[in-house]
A and B are shown apart, each in its own frame.
Chain A
Amino acid sequence: MTAVVRRIGLGAAGLFLVFGVAQLAMWSSGVNRAIYPLPSTILTTTARMLSDGSFWSSVASTLSVWAQAMAISVAIAVPLGVLLGTLPWAEDAVRPLIEFLRPIPSVVLLPLVLLIVQDNTRTEVVLIVLSAMWPVLINTVYGIREVDPLAKQTLRTFGFGPVAVARRVSLPSAAPFIATGIRIGASSGFITAVAAELIGAGGNGIGSYVVAAQSGTAGIAPVLGVAVWSGLLGLAINAAFAGAERRVLRWHHLLVAAQGGGA
């Protein structure tokens, strides 16, 4: 318990220290406040955004586009990953194709996709899917390959078909890998969402709010406010994913702990 208190206390002290040193340094130096706002100015701007309806509707917009795209990514990448994971020769054959497509930063597809689908929101969804599906796909392939062959064989011996084997053995045992893939994909998908909105996917998302704030008269403080809120939001999303992972994969952690304890 005291360890937790100590961690929280020191962590908070660290935050205050960073804030205080930055505030003092900025305050005592003669830099242009319009370009370099004081940390306290950023903080009050951030707090004031709490009651800014247009900001929160932009947050809701980005989150909903992102969530849709994540659902599509999972729906495409998990079945594909299961397929490629169970057919090693197929995975071998398509690997160069994947290695070519995967590193392309999907924001660069924006002008082309925008021309083709002629719709800002759908363009954003396509770009997010194209960046989020790769980690899900690759982690699913790895997870399926790690499945205990004996367990699969056992089920087959008892007359279960390939679908039942996948549902009862392969998918549950690959689940921790898939969860990791989804977590990584969600984070890179969110980066892509913001990037796409910034360079002109339009819509009403966080990125568009930043673009509007950029051309406003309030200087850079509102943009920094968005950065602060999106950082907090990112922390909340990470925590939510970690929590969901723990809950869904509770049996897995128990299993690992039991095996570790037995060994």
Chain B
Amino acid sequence: MRRRLAVLAARLAVIVVAVGGWQLGTKAAASPYFLPPWSILKTVYHDWFSGPASHLWLTADATGNLLPSLGRMLGGLLIASLIGIALGVAIGRIPVLAELTEPFVHFCRAIPPPIVVPVFLFIFQIGTPMEVGSIAFGVVWPVLVNTIDGARHIDPGQLETARAFRLGPVQRLWRVILPGAAPKIFAGLRLALAVALILMIVAEFQGSTDGIGREMSIAQTNLDVPTMWAIIVLLGLLGIVLNALFSLGERRVLAWQRGAARTE
């Protein structure tokens, strides 16, 4: 308990020193590029979170840019997860399929995902389908590769047991294969989350009428330094929230799996 308190105090101290030093340093230097954290937070609040209570305090700027960006990212992630997990289980469980697809999958995985943005921009023109498509294509590979790996290394004893109890293929999939591959799948999704954020920015920067990336590109044109800082801080906060939600979901799913393993 005392140790935890000490850690908490040390963490607070580090944050206070970092933010305070930043505040004092930028005040003293008065550089046009390095802004004090207090004014950045005020911009974040003013631009996105000072709206009416009926809109959950979100401003029109937030609902018009933040929400579309988040929607595209989650949409792309969702499509990529469905495709990646479905194909990954099939490839992981059928050895011939794995041998047939291995070079192709590894080649696609090695393509730096940002390169697909111009391709989708060319096919779909500016708009949400292009952004969702780019994100989905860019992040499907880590999910696929990890699912293949997880599905391939299912404990054979568990599969034998499932067969002995005459579980059908669908039940084997839901009760043995997917839970067994879940830790690997989550590792792939975690990688996918980081890449999806990058692709969201690149896609919106390259061709979009709204979104966080578009706001950033407008800020760049206008040399609007406060907005640039505000977007950076916003993405940091977003990253913390997304990671926390992700860890929560992961713990839930995997706790169930651990519990099942324990009762065996």
Contacts and interface: CB of A to CB of B under 8 A. Distances in A.
Contacts of A191: 112-114, 195, 198
A226 B110 contact: no
A92 B4 CA distance: 10
Contacts of B216: 108, 111
A231 B107 contact: yes
Contacts of B194: 103, 105, 188
Interface in A102-160: 102-105, 107-112, 114-116
B129 to A, nearest CB: 14
B103 A96 contact: no
A178 interface: no
A177 interface: no
B108 A231 contact: yes
Given A11-B99, A103-B236, A107-B198, A194 B229 contact: no
Interface in B140-174: none
A103 B122 contact: no
A103 B223 CA distance: 24
A17 B206 CA distance: 34
Contacts of A116: 33
B104 A14 contact: yes
B114 A10 contact: no
Given A108-B231, A198-B206, A89 B115 contact: no
Contact of A115 (B33, B108, B111): B33
B99 A224 contact: no
B205 interface: yes
A247 B236 CA distance: 38
Given A14-B102, A14-B104, A111-B220, A96 B122 contact: no
A146 B212 CA distance: 40
Interface string A211-245: 10010000110011011101111110110000000
B103 A11 contact: yes
Contacts of A200: 205, 220
A251 interface: no
A192 interface: yes
- Which secondary structure dominates where chain B touches chain A? helix
B127 interface: no
Contacts of A99: 240, 243
Given A89-B10, A198-B202, A104 B232 contact: yes
A97 interface: yes
Contacts of A95: 11
Given A103-B240, A190-B112, A231-B107, A111 B235 contact: no
Nearest to A134: B194
Contacts of A103: 194, 197, 235-236, 238-240, 242-243
A224 B112 contact: no
Contacts of A96: 11, 14-15
- Which secondary structure dominates where chain A touches chain B? helix
B106 A235 contact: yes
Interface string B105-128: 011111111111111011100000
A226 B118 CA distance: 11
A220 B116 CA distance: 11
A27 interface: no
Contacts of B7: 89, 92-93
Report the interface size class on chain A. 35 or more
Contact of A15 (B13, B104, B240): B104
A93 to B, nearest CB: 4
Contact of B99 (A10, A211, A228): A10
Nearest to B123: A35
A197 to B, nearest CB: 9
B112 A194 contact: yes
B99 A104 contact: no
A18 interface: yes
A191 B142 CA distance: 14
Interface string B60-81: 0000000000000000000000
A224 B116 CA distance: 8
A179 to B, nearest CB: 18
Given A199-B205, A214-B122, A227 B111 contact: yes
Top-6 shortest CB links A-B = A103-B239, A234-B110, A14-B100, A111-B220, A93-B10, A10-B99
Interface of A: 6-7, 10-15, 17-18, 35-36, 89, 92-97, 99-105, 107-112, 114-116, 188, 190-195, 198-200, 206-207, 210-211, 214, 219-220, 223-224, 226-228, 230-235, 237-238
Given A111-B219, A231-B110, A235-B107, 16 more contacts: A11-B102, A14-B99, A14-B104, A35-B122, A100-B236, A104-B232, A105-B198, A111-B216, A115-B225, A116-B33, A190-B112, A194-B112, A214-B122, A220-B123, A227-B115, A234-B111
